[in-house]
Amino acid sequence: MSKQQLPIEPVGGCCVPIMDAALDNAAAAEGATVFKALADPVRLRLMSIIASAGGEICVCDVTPQFDVSGPTISHHLKVLREAGLVDCERRGTWVYYWPLPERLTWLSTLLSVPTPSAV
Amino acid sequence: MSKQQLPIEPVGGCCVPIMDAALDNAAAAEGATVFKALADPVRLRLMSIIASAGGEICVCDVTPQFDVSGPTISHHLKVLREAGLVDCERRGTWVYYWPLPERLTWLSTLLSVPTPSAV
DNA sequence: CTGCTGAATTGATGATCATCTAATCAACGA
DNA sequence: TCGTTGATTAGATGATCATCAATTCAGCAG
């Protein structure tokens, strides 16, 4: 059972489920920032499209899936990027985005509920 | 209290990780609503305090842990309630809150990342 | 160089939100 | 009944946000 490591640093050490221990102010502030990034319908779907793309996806393939303007998509992508949820790279004319699973894992763990079989 | 009619939806089909499939507009809207409830530092810490209380906790024990007014805490508790994350009951003079793990599990699954070992 | 295309940035605007004070509600005890 | 205490609701306000049109930036091809 290889435990996948968390190479991304800026994420505060956290990983204790909230059902196990209450968050302090700092952790709550950091967590709220990341949740805020997912707290918009466009952004959440955007995140899911990038996450489910199986690798990376071009902005040009993402934008047509929404009813909002290009600049708005660009703005939302920036929010996701600043939340550490995705990263991107320009290659030629196009820009490609991919998910950063560490952040997702962190949030998932934070919200996880102990299974009944557990102590 | 726990009797009042809340806009709690059937917790849409629950539980395909966003890394497995992109969300449709409806699921994204519903998910964003719940994430929005956790997207505030006060509310996230509030949620963690309730979740980690090991059962239920009195509002009177929660409020003193924050620097904001009582009505503000009450407002945040209402948001958590309407998001289906907590429920409450009045007993005598006091009101007790407890977490609703189903919602947490739902979010946790939504954000879960397949382990490297799994195929 | 110039022109074209995809993406990001700027600036403005209408909407939503977090917070407060004041008022109201709910339960209890004198 | 009336006060008192704990909690919620109502209303107001300043801040933040989502969105767009216009502009700018980055890369490529004549």
Note the pTM of the prediction, 2 decimals.
0.89
Please write the tens of the pLDDT for every residue from B7-53: 444 444 468 999 999 999 999 999 999 999 999 999 999 999 999 99
Q: pLDDT tens digits for chain A (119 residues)?
A: 333 333 333 444 558 999 999 999 999 999 999 999 999 999 999 999 999 999 999 999 999 999 999 999 999 999 999 999 999 999 999 999 999 999 999 999 999 998 877 55
A15 has a chain B CB within 8 A of its CB: no
The two three-digit tokens of residue A6, written as one number: 């968390």
Euclidean distance between CA atoms A114 and A62, whole angstroms: 36
* A16-35 residues touching B, CB cutoff 8 A: 18-25, 28-29, 31-32, 35
Q: Count the residues in chain A.
A: 119
Residue type, B47: M
